[in-house]
Structure 1
Amino acid sequence: MADAVAQRIQNDITSNDVMLYMKGTPMFPQCGFSARVIQILTHMGVPFQSANVLEDPELREGIKAFSQWPTVPQLYVKGEFVGGCDIVTEMFQDGELETLLKEHGVPVKA
């Protein structure tokens, strides 16, 4: 992984309380898994930033190396890797995602 890509990812996850690496954009997700995570975050009223890995092949591979997680989407909260679609969905259903966000001071809609 190029140092520039690793630095970009580090800057993204440090500068944004909630950062989502996804395929597509929040308005036009390009895969069902990315759409599902967007749906969860939107439902919870969580402010987040995103990066479209389809626009940048280096970022697409770099994020996988950075997290040592083979798939996209990838969700980070306060610089901490949370997981992909399945993990985020399970955490949402169990109430763990709301707890994690609140513990990190991220506003969540009641």
Structure 2
Amino acid sequence: MSDINERISKVVGDNDVVLFMKGTPLFPQCGFSSRAVAILEHCGVAYDSVDVLQDMEIRQGIKAYSDWPTIPQLYVKGEFVGGSDIMMEMFEAGELAQLMEDKKVAKAS
């Protein structure tokens, strides 16, 4: 499992914002992933995504890595933020935009 943790750590460390999701931002494969993408798009930040459906090791490994049972999962500047429900709560409260600003996340181009 350490090899998969290293792969996940590299992705999380190499990207300011990364969303582990089912599908891609253009073609989300579940409603929760679709909602997470919509939230990030609305925030207007640059982000990367990982399609967990393409890699079973990542799909299982990310759950252990974060100690969070569901996908999608959002990471900002190496820190686990949460899944789509937490993203929605933070977005509605203005906390997600504030987090992105505080962490100096780049705007989408």
Query: Shorter-chain TM-score: what band?
Result: over 0.9
Runs of at least 4 residues off by over 3 Å: none
Matching residue of 1:100: 99
Matching residue of 1:79: 78
Matching residue of 2:30: 31
Identity percentage over the alignment? 56
User: 1:36-66: per-residue Cα shift (whole Å, max 9, x none)?
Assistant: 0100111111100000001111100000000
Paired residue type of 1:16: N
For the aligned residues, what is the CA RMSD? 1.0
Paired residue type of 1:8: R
Matching residue of 1:44: 43
Pair 1:108–1:90, CA change in 2 (3 A): farther
Inter-partner Cα distance in structure 1 for 2:106 and 2:55: 30
Unaligned segments of structure 1, at least 5 residues: none
Inter-partner Cα distance in structure 2 for 1:24 and 1:40: 16
SS of equivalent to 1:19? strand
Tell me the matched-pair count. 108
